[in-house]
Amino acid sequence: MTLPRARLLVMLVILFAILLFSNSALAQEMTFEEGVNWGLKHNIEIMKMKQNLNQLKRGLKEIKAGSDWQLDTTIKTQVNNFDTDKISDIDSSADGEDNNFQELDISLSATKDYWSGLSLRSEVYSRNDNLSADSINDAEFQLNVDQNIYPRLPINAEQNYIKRKLDLKEAQVALKDEKNSKIINWTEAYLNLLRLKESYGLANERYKIAQKELDEVMAQKKVGEAGELEFLSAKANLKEAQYQLKNAKNNYQQAKKALSNQLGFTNEQSLKLNANSDYLAQLEAIINSSSIKLNDKPRLIELAMDNSVKLLKNKLSKKKVEYELHWSKLEDKPDINLNGNYNSLNQEWSAGINLSYNIFDSGQRELAMKDLNEQVEITNREYQDLVKGLKLEIDKLVTRIEANQNNLEGKELRLEKAKLDKKIAKKQLKRGLITQIEFHKKELALQETRINLKEAKDKLLLSKLELIDYIGSK
């Protein structure tokens, strides 16, 4: 009985190892660059914008397809049964003929609307009476041609196509802007994650020191070298360090989960943290290669106006209203059309010219024109407000860069001071003026100062990226 149990145990161990290996193999660790590329494809906001973009593209194809040849067919059949006992004037039954009267109507129509104003309508029609008697009429062909001469007003399909084309351009620019914004936001979250990880490690070291300090105080208390006050103080310091450690761990884990969700990661995917990421180096290279001059505000404003998505949306909205205003004016003009018809049954054709004009519409068109003119005025005001907001945003971004630059310089000075403090503490430790724990605290203070310096560099990098993205400079 021992041997089968041993084999079962071995099999369970092997199975567990296989499952463990499978799970680790399925887990996919991505670099930040890979994560960004993945996020650009799987982020829910970007996916929705792509879906809207694809719908607009399909809508353009549908409009064109609707203006192309359209074929329709109609088949109609009818069977009539006559009661010869009740209809005395029908003597077909006396001749032994079938009283079922059958009809079959078949029609095939084709239409096409050219955006030049030409409209074609054709129909082939065949009616077959009394099929039982093989009575078949010849097919009839009809053709109608209509050409708009004046004014040159786009047909409804072309008008919809023009407006949809503007919507597509707006969606394309908005998608590109959203991707750039996401990259900056993800970069900020990634850099923050790196600093949170370092802060978590720092909090762990401080917890170890607090624990060691409490142990020393307890030992001193036993021999009477420390009192209750020192013991309570060391114990409180440990509790505070424990709280800071848990808080740092929670902040790090939550930030990592949040970034993974933003990137659209699955449960099997994770982000590999690397302070020397090639992608971060590429972003820094973009910043270093940029020829931005913070003191040249007019140039920055000019670039921002050319790159502004909000201004582009305003221009496209205004353009759509201007199109509608122009078309509405054309609709108010006399309408002149050439038309021609042909009927094969009568061998007749005709051609003519039609002139139509709406003499009085109770002021409907005038009211519609006022609405459109008001929309144009509103878009003009919005444009001016957007330009003012753009100038303020440029001032804010430039001020932020300058402030972050000053902050970085201050952090660099604090780092030099922390290095000097550690150097002095090292000498004091050799002379026995301070304990090893106190010296270790100076080392951790230096480490914290380095983290703060990195955070200052991150803020400066991000503020420059935001300005580059805002003005569209490379």
Q: What are the pLDDT digits (tens) for 378-406? A: 999 999 999 999 999 999 999 999 999 99
Asked if residue 10 belongs to a domain, the reply is no
Kindly state the average pLDDT of the residues 190-216: 96
267 secondary structure, DSSP code: T
What's the pLDDT band for 88 if we cut at 50, 70, 90?
very low
Per residue in 65-99, is it b (16+ CB within 10 Å) or e — as a string? eebeeeeeeeeeeeeeeeeeeeeeeeeeeeeeeee
Report the CATH number that the domain containing residue 167 is assigned in CATH.
1.20.1600.10
Asked if residue 130 belongs to a domain, the reply is no
pLDDT for res 84 = 47
Provide the number of structural domains found in the chain.
Answer: 1
- For 160-183, the pLDDT digits (tens) are 999 999 999 999 999 999 999 999
Q: What are phi and psi of 254, to 5 degrees?
A: -65, -40
- For 405-447, the pLDDT digits (tens) are 999 999 999 999 999 999 999 999 999 999 999 999 999 999 9
pLDDT for res 94 = 42
* Least confident window among 14-23, 186-195, 239-248: 14-23
In angstroms, the CA 359 to CA 369 distance is 17
Query: Is the bond into 151 cis (omega within 30 degrees of 0)?
Result: yes
In angstroms, the CA 338 to CA 117 distance is 10
Question: Packing angle between helix 156-222 and helix 309-331, nearest 10 degrees?
Answer: 160
What's the pLDDT band for 93 if we cut at 50, 70, 90?
very low
Asked if residue 137 belongs to a domain, the reply is no
pLDDT for res 224 = 86
| pLDDT > 70? residue 138 | no
| pLDDT > 90? residue 252 | yes
**AA letter at 84:** T
In angstroms, the CA 459 to CA 351 distance is 76
Q: Could you list the residue range(s) of the whole structural domain that residue 296 is in?
A: 32-71+152-335+362-471
- The pTM assigned to this predicted structure is 0.81
Kindly state the average pLDDT of the residues 273-297: 89
pLDDT for res 24 = 45
pLDDT for res 397 = 97
Asked if residue 83 belongs to a domain, the reply is no
Cα 159 to the chain's mean position, in Å? 27
| 90, 93, 95, 101 alpha-carbon torsion, rounded to 10° | 80
Asked if residue 132 belongs to a domain, the reply is no
pLDDT for res 344 = 87
Asked if residue 214 belongs to a domain, the reply is yes
pLDDT for res 6 = 53
Pairing of strands 28-30, 269-271: parallel
Other C-beta atoms closer than 10 Å to the C-beta of 36 total 19
Q: List Cβ neighbours of 435 (8 Å cut-off, separation of 6 or more).
A: 429
pLDDT for res 7 = 57
What's the pLDDT band for 22 if we cut at 50, 70, 90?
very low
| pLDDT > 70? residue 4 | no
pLDDT for res 316 = 96
| pLDDT > 60? residue 98 | no
Q: Report how far apart, in Å, the C-alpha atoms of 360 and of each of 325, 327, 363, 368, 371 are.
A: 19, 18, 8, 14, 19
In angstroms, the CA 375 to CA 387 distance is 18
- For 313-337, the pLDDT digits (tens) are 999 999 999 999 999 999 889 999 9
Q: Report how far apart, in Å, the C-alpha atoms of 276 and of each of 191, 245, 271 are.
A: 11, 26, 14
Kindly state the average pLDDT of the residues 269-289: 90
Asked if residue 129 belongs to a domain, the reply is no
Mean pLDDT, all residues of the chain: 88
Kindly state the average pLDDT of the residues 272-298: 90
| pLDDT > 60? residue 66 | yes
* Least confident window among 298-312, 360-374, 414-428: 360-374
Asked if residue 45 belongs to a domain, the reply is yes
Q: Report how far apart, in Å, the C-alpha atoms of 137 and of each of 81, 100, 142, 169, 382 are.
A: 21, 19, 16, 55, 67
Tracing tokens 């018809």 back to the chain, one arrives at 341
Residues 373 and 329 sit within 8 Å (Cβ to Cβ): no
